[in-house]
Amino acid sequence: MTITPHDLGSRYDLDAAALRHFDDNGFVKLPGVLDAGTIAAYEPEITAKVIDLNTQHLPLAERDTYGKAFLQVTNLWRHSDLVREFVFSRRLARIAAELLGVDGVRLYHDQALYKEPGGGLTPWHADQYYWPLAGDRTVTVWIPLQETPAEMGPLAFAAGSHRFEYGRDLPISDESERELQRALAERDFPSVETPYRLGEVSYHLGWTFHHAAPNRSDLPRRVMTVIYMDADITVSRPVNDNQRHDLRAWLPGAEVGAVPDTPLNPVLHRRG
């Protein structure tokens, strides 16, 4: 059955304050982007696919820091028409393009990040460490699929850190948590951590440093994300093994110096 609630396609009006906050801080939280009915329509299918496709089966106590942070399942849209509707939302993609100040955005990939009850911290990191892309016009929308109070480990941002170049060579790890916690505090970047109401989402740039506290509740923290890139961005030569992996997995067939116009990277919004 196909479900197309109104707010997957309708326009969300960004005001000047939201655009300014994003430019100044490298992130913005937006209220009421999705209504409760839309989340209720898609969450069960997203969760079912996470359960079906998850490959992490070790007990929490036996995992490393990265493994304790969340269950991670990528490109769910390829396994469900219903999830595809959600990931390809014109509403969400248009917001991304307007925040980035670009004519259009294409999909890098989607990613479910489910933090289990008792799941550990997500260390400080910047996403774009992993991406072989020649430019900074990249953004992730972080979509909680339930109310997300402090005890669940909502995403926290270092405001203004998208202009801070130290630590951009660090993958998510105990080292990134230790080094970035120190460096960000020394430079007085405020850490902004607030609960998410149902339907509230955040967008953050690829170079904005962020982390999340452990899930101290007895419920899973269910989050869906979509990563967007400028529709005209080009591929850069990978500088680490993670970027080499991403080039093969998420930009298949794309050449260095070319726009990654592949079947996995469709344009989701173009200003017309």
Structural domains of the chain, count: 1
Residue type for position 160: G
Report yes or no on 144 lying in a domain: yes
What domain range includes position 206?
A: 30-251
pLDDT attached to residue 253: 96
- Domain holding 158: CATH number? 2.60.120.620
In the chain the first and final C-alpha atoms are separated, in Å, by 30
pLDDT in tens, 158-189: 999 999 999 999 999 999 999 999 999 999 99
For 96, counting Cβ atoms within 10 Å of its Cβ (0-12 exposed, 13-18 middle, 19+ buried), the class is buried
Report yes or no on 263 lying in a domain: no
Report yes or no on 161 lying in a domain: yes
Report yes or no on 18 lying in a domain: no
pLDDT attached to residue 1: 43
Report yes or no on 181 lying in a domain: yes
pLDDT attached to residue 61: 85
Report yes or no on 108 lying in a domain: yes
Report yes or no on 262 lying in a domain: no
Which of 15-37 are b and which e, b meaning 16 or more Cβ less than 10 Å from the residue's Cβ?
A: eeebeebbeebbbbbbeebbeee
Report yes or no on 90 lying in a domain: yes
Residue 128 · residue 255 · CB < 8 Å: no
Other residues' Cβ atoms within 10 Å of the Cβ of residue 175? 13
Write out the two tokens for 126. Answer: 């910047």
**Concatenated DSSP letters for 187-216?**
TTPPEEE--B-TT-EEEEETT--EEE----
Which of 137-161 are b and which e, b meaning 16 or more Cβ less than 10 Å from the residue's Cβ?
A: bbbbbbbbbeebeeebbbbbbbbbb
Identify the segments of the chain with pLDDT beneath 70: 1-6
pLDDT attached to residue 60: 85
Kindly report the length of the chain: 272
